[in-house]
């Protein structure tokens, strides 16, 4: 099975926010990979499945995909490869999303050990890892370590083309961490600074594609929570229009 073809067809559904069709496609693709005995395609599909199930809140199937992916890596004997580190990151994100930050952090650290050894320091995969790892650290109230990783993530993302939307998400994550550490009243100035930077990054980004739509959709509730009602509504509508192709 051709990995690129799998991702292209999957993206055709995700860019339209059509999670039902994406789920059906991945289910069929996994059955085909199983029938062919294609281990690499199977791991790729399982990674995409766990991400999709996480987005739609399907805990049972997400964790099933996690367990299958981790087993496949061990069977294939590729536990220390960069591709496997990406799987560890995705698995960790599932555990974090469903309330298991301790397990998530263990998997993030495993990915970190491989990424930092194998990748350039400005690789966007490191930025994503640091952002997600910081989220787990905030859940565990390890705020200082989380803030260091948020700053590393932002620095890396802004070195990469099309990294501005991801950096915007990270600034909003940092705002939430500041509130969790200091309380809303005490952290209001720092939070406003994070919101301003996130908004500037979203407005400056010119590539208004499906990923941008997803980021706007993801960011809108945080802006709403912090009282920026009009901007929240604006980017939510922007996201809708991109998905609908209008």
43-64 per-position pLDDT tens digit = 999 999 999 999 999 999 999 9
**158: closest CA among 150, 167, 171?**
167
**131: closest CA among 103, 111, 117?**
111
Asked if the domains at 1-118 and 119-246 fall in one CATH topology, the answer is: yes
109-161 per-position pLDDT tens digit = 999 999 999 999 999 999 999 999 999 999 999 999 999 999 999 999 999 98
CA distances from residue 75 to 16, 71, 85 in whole angstroms, order as listed: 35, 6, 15
Quote the crossing angle between the two packed helices 19-36 and 39-56, to the nearest 10°.
160
CATH number of the structural domain 1-118: 1.25.40.10
- pLDDT for res 246: 57
Task: Report how far apart the first and last C-alpha atoms of the chain are (Å, whole number).
Answer: 34
Q: What is the mean pLDDT of residues 199-221?
A: 94
| DSSP string of 194-242, one letter each residue | HHHHHHHHHHH----SHHHHHHHHHHHHHHHHTT-HHHHHHHHHHHHHH
Superfamily of domain 119-246: Tetratricopeptide repeat domain (1.25.40.10)
Q: How many residues does the chain have?
A: 246
């Amino acid at each position: 099975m051709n990995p690129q073809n799998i991702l292209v067809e999957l993206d055709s559904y995700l860019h339209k926010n059509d999670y039902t069709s994406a789920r059906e496609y991945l289910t069929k693709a996994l059955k085909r990979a199983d029938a062919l005995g294609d281990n690499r395609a199977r791991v790729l599909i399982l990674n995409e499945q766990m991400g999709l199930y996480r987005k739609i809140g399907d805990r049972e199937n997400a964790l099933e995909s996690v367990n299958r992916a981790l087993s496949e890596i061990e069977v294939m004997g590729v536990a220390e490869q960069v591709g496997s580190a990406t799987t560890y990151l995705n698995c960790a994100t599932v555990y974090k999303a469903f309330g298991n930050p301790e397990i998530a952090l263990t998997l993030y650290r495993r990915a970190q050990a491989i990424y930092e050894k194998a990748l350039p320091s400005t690789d966007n995969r490191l930025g994503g890892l640091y952002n997600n790892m910081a989220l787990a650290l905030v859940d565990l109230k390890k705020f200082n370590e989380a803030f260091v990783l948020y700053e590393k993530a932002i620095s890396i993302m802004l070195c990469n083309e099309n990294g501005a939307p991801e950096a915007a998400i990270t600034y909003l994550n940092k705002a939430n961490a500041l509130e969790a550490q200091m309380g809303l009243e005490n952290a209001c100035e720092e939070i406003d600074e994070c919101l301003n930077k996130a908004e500037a990054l979203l407005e400056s980004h010119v590539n208004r594609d499906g990923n941008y739509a997803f980021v706007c959709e993801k960011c809108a509730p945080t802006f709403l929570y912090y009282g920026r009602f009009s901007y929240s509504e604006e980017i939510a509508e922007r996201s809708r229009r991109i998905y609908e192709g209008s």
